[in-house]
Structure 1
Amino acid sequence: MLDKEAVLNDIELTSISLTMLSGGLDTLTALMAWSIALLANRPDIQEKATAAIKEMHPEDVPLCPASDDQGCQYIVALVRELLRYYTVLRLALPRTTINDIAYERKLIPKGAVFFLNAWACNMDSDVWTDPEVFRPERWFEKPDAPIFTYGVGYRMCAGSLIANRELYLTFIRMINSFRIEAYDKIDWHPIHGNSDPTSLVAIPKIYKVRFVPKNKQVLEEALANFRNTGV
């Protein structure tokens, strides 16, 4: 970074790109597992999302185009609320103080290792009046409210922007293509439903759901076209 004339070769560029993509494999898949569990138990949210998607994309295009850069605001709000409500990495990765810090009449010495409690920050009652309620609409009310799932500051998750786009495209296509139904009882509560409270990444307990195509013929045609053209 200090050498302005330094140039990365193809191997280094490939390594960096793969690191950016693979860095979120465990956290994104865990969030998807939580999200599907919630959607299966909240058909009202599926209905609101479907209505919002229909305003932008026709029903005969279940695989909404990848060029849709987070244009459906309800899906954007849904993604943000899922990131806030589940916070799969409850404690962010460790940091180290580079100077002595005085806080609340306490001294945090230089070189101390500390963790950001991202879960507690996202559930802060000083920011939200109902933090324990899953409600995507809160992001219309406070669009600039902080979210701590990716960490904070210069050392926050470097892949947050691509992760948001991946989640947006996944949810808009999934909800536009399928109705998600609970197969059996699912504990989708972010604490009670956690399969291993000692794990670094919060993962839900095993469950089953049904993915029911909204229009099977149209979806099969769209998937066949995608396999042939990649679009």
Structure 2
Amino acid sequence: MIKAIILDLFLAGTDTTFASLEWAICELLRHPQAMKELQQEALKIGQGRSMIAEDDLEKMPYLKAVIKETLRLHTLVPLLVPRESTQDVKILGYDIPSGTQVFINAWAIARDPSKWEAPEEFKPERFLNNPIDYKGFHFELIPFGAGRRRCPGIQFAMIINELVLANLVYKFDLSVMGEEGLDTSETNGITILKKCPILVSATPCS
């Protein structure tokens, strides 16, 4: 059981983390103004130091907005983890008996035009001065699920994502090599990965 839990942690904590970073970099390269905005924030916070530290992340609202918008537009586990109803319930006129296996389409919720303005567009600004978060309390955005069964590694994953992305744009100017890398086609599977790998040239910032 211990080995199985550790294996789950490694699989769930690496596949989704690298995928979300790849999607974030892809979207930033597709939207140069967003990349410029994030780099300016990173340079302001870094102040010439060798790297941005974990303590600096709370002072980077645009970074957090970029990560949130990436998770909204590219929900990594689109149907979340299957649930099972523990009692008979009635939702929107539908009778759901106890023991029914339930799938939540988090991908569709995050692109619902009744909840999001221009849902197909990458607009990190929508999360600036916006209380909506990914921790399971706002049902418009549930990339990690919600309730008692939400992902237990939310904080770990977000710190890794934010720290890596902040330091990448702080230390390097990124450019895509080959236009196919900017293709946003998705693979099919439990986790949505980028169909065409992105090849990026990283030039140290002067």
TM-score scaled to structure 2, two decimals? 0.86
| 2:41 is the alignment partner of 1:47 | no
Q: CA RMSD in A?
A: 2.2
| 2:165 is the alignment partner of 1:176 | no
Aligned length: 198
User: Which stretch of structure 1 is more off in the superposition, 82-91 or 122-131?
Assistant: 122-131
**Paired-residue identity, %:** 24
User: Aligned-pair distance for 1:20?
Assistant: 4.4
1:203 is aligned to: 193
- 3-state DSSP of counterpart to 1:129: coil
| 2:155 is the alignment partner of 1:167 | no
Alignment of 1:3-152 (within 5 A): 20=9, 22-58=11-47, 60-144=48-132, 146=138, 147-152=141-146
User: Aligned-pair distance for 1:203?
Assistant: 1.1
Structure with bigger helix share is: 2
User: Aligned-pair distance for 1:91?
Assistant: 0.9
Residue identity in the other structure for 1:152: A
User: Aligned-pair distance for 1:38?
Assistant: 1.9
Residue identity in the other structure for 1:43: P
Report runs of 4+ in structure 1 exceeding 6 Å deviation. Answer: 14-18
d(CA) in 1 for partners of 2:57, 2:205: 24
- 3-state DSSP of counterpart to 1:158: coil
d(CA) in 1 for partners of 2:75, 2:127: 16
Residue identity in the other structure for 1:213: P
Contact 1:97–1:109 under 8 Å retained in 2 = yes
TM-score scaled to structure 1, two decimals? 0.78
